[in-house]
């Protein structure tokens, strides 16, 4: 399967500032791209690219005085298996004493995931009798999927997992933060993932496309994909970045006053005979 991905993003600003962005496909998917991914920035500025502590490919530009807006755009085509998310029915849960050291940070509280809150006692009361491993994670997904009502109009950039639990409304990041927190409460390493997820193999959802958030848990010596928002296996997830929570993986972050003027995301299946020759070959 081939999937076209891309975006057009524009930010308005009133002063010089640094901008960082995590808009590249994750390095783990780079070899699936038909051609190297290029991010166009307008006006053109020198760009510094670097890898953060989670292995995400990031970029930084310094916007000078007198620039009123900055645009980011990209188009790419990526190969995908076309298969549904893998289901790890027999994946076992590690005792924390046996976990790889690299996973331990994904058991700890983070900016939007308050493991050390009332959610800890709730999680053990709600899920303590469920089977360990994959069934326990699926029970958490089921709970979060039914507990939170999805509503774009109620999106809030600073809502934490505990607030999402109490308010019972939010968007994909809120489903993900709550599920990640409940998994960590149950000693299951969980990390936040952001990326592309188009309406492939499912009915088209009305309204504009957006980036999506889901999560991964460490079970059976591997990271496994989970999604409390949709609570079903999906086709065509393209990872962009991974971290402890949304604070680690901002799509674009400006260190100064700015506002969003445009935000369009593209992700859909394409076929070789409909693509330009330079891309198809």
Q: How far apart are CA 26 and CA 256, in angstroms?
A: 26
pLDDT in the model for residue 275: 64
pLDDT in the model for residue 281: 43
Per-residue confidence of the chain (281 residues) as pLDDT tens digits?
999 999 999 999 999 999 999 999 999 999 999 999 999 999 999 999 999 999 999 999 999 999 999 999 999 999 999 999 999 999 999 999 999 999 999 999 999 999 999 999 999 999 999 999 999 999 999 999 999 999 999 999 999 999 999 999 999 999 999 999 999 999 999 999 999 999 999 998 888 899 999 999 999 999 999 999 999 999 999 999 999 999 999 999 999 999 999 999 999 999 987 665 455 44
Cα-Cα-Cα-Cα torsion 143, 147, 150, 151, nearest 10 degrees, comes to -160
Residue tagged 């790889």 (tokens): 100
End-to-end CA, the chain: 15
Here the tokens at position 102 are: 């690299």
Q: How far apart are CA 184 and CA 178, in angstroms?
A: 10
- Please state, as a whole number, how many other Cβ atoms lie within 10 Å of the Cβ of residue 82: 13
* Per CATH, domain 2-82+250-280 is 2.60.40.10: no
Phi, psi (deg, nearest 5) at residue 267: -160, 110
Q: How far apart are CA 140 and CA 89, in angstroms?
A: 15
Q: Find out whether the peptide bond into 43 is cis, omega within 30 degrees of 0.
A: yes
pLDDT in the model for residue 208: 82
216 beta partners: 191, 225
Q: Are 7 and 73 in contact (CB under 8 A)?
A: yes
Domain 2-82+250-280 shares a fold with domain 96-234: no
Break the chain into its structural domains and give their ranges.
2-82+250-280, 96-234
Report the CATH fold assignment for 96-234.
Answer: C8orf32 fold (3.10.620)
Q: Are 46 and 61 in contact (CB under 8 A)?
A: yes
What one-character DSSP code corresponds to residue 186? T
Kind of pairing between the strands at 69-79 and 40-42: antiparallel
């Amino acid at each position: 399967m081939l999937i076209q991905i891309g975006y057009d993003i524009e930010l308005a600003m009133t002063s010089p500032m640094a901008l960082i962005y995590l808009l590249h496909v994750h390095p783990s998917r780079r070899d699936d791209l038909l051609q190297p991914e290029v991010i166009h920035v307008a006006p053109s500025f020198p760009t510094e690219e670097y890898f953060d502590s989670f292995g995400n490919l990031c970029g930084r530009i310094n916007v000078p005085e007198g620039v009123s807006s900055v645009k980011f755009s990209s188009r790419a085509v990526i190969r995908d298996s076309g298969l549904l998310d893998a289901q790890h029915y027999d994946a076992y849960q590690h005792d924390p004493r046996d976990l790889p050291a690299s996973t331990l940070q994904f058991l700890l509280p983070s900016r939007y995931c308050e493991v050390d809150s009332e959610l800890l006692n709730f999680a053990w009361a709600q899920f303590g009798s469920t089977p360990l491993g994959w069934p326990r994670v699926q029970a958490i997904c089921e709970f979060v999927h039914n507990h939170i009502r999805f509503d774009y109009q109620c999106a809030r950039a600073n809502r934490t997992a505990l607030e999402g639990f109490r308010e019972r409304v939010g968007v994909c990041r809120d489903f993900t933060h709550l599920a990640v927190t409940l998994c960590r409460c149950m000693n299951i390493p969980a990390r936040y993932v952001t990326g592309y997820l188009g309406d492939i193999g499912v009915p088209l959802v009305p309204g504009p496309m957006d980036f999506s958030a889901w999560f991964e848990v460490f079970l059976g010596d591997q990271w496994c994909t989970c999604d409390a928002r949709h609570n079903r296996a999906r086709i065509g997830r393209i990872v962009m970045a991974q971290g402890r929570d949304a604070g680690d993986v901002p799509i674009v972050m400006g260190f100064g006053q700015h506002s969003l003027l445009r935000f369009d995301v593209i992700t859909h299946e394409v076929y070789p005979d409909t693509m330009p020759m330079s891309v198809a070959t």
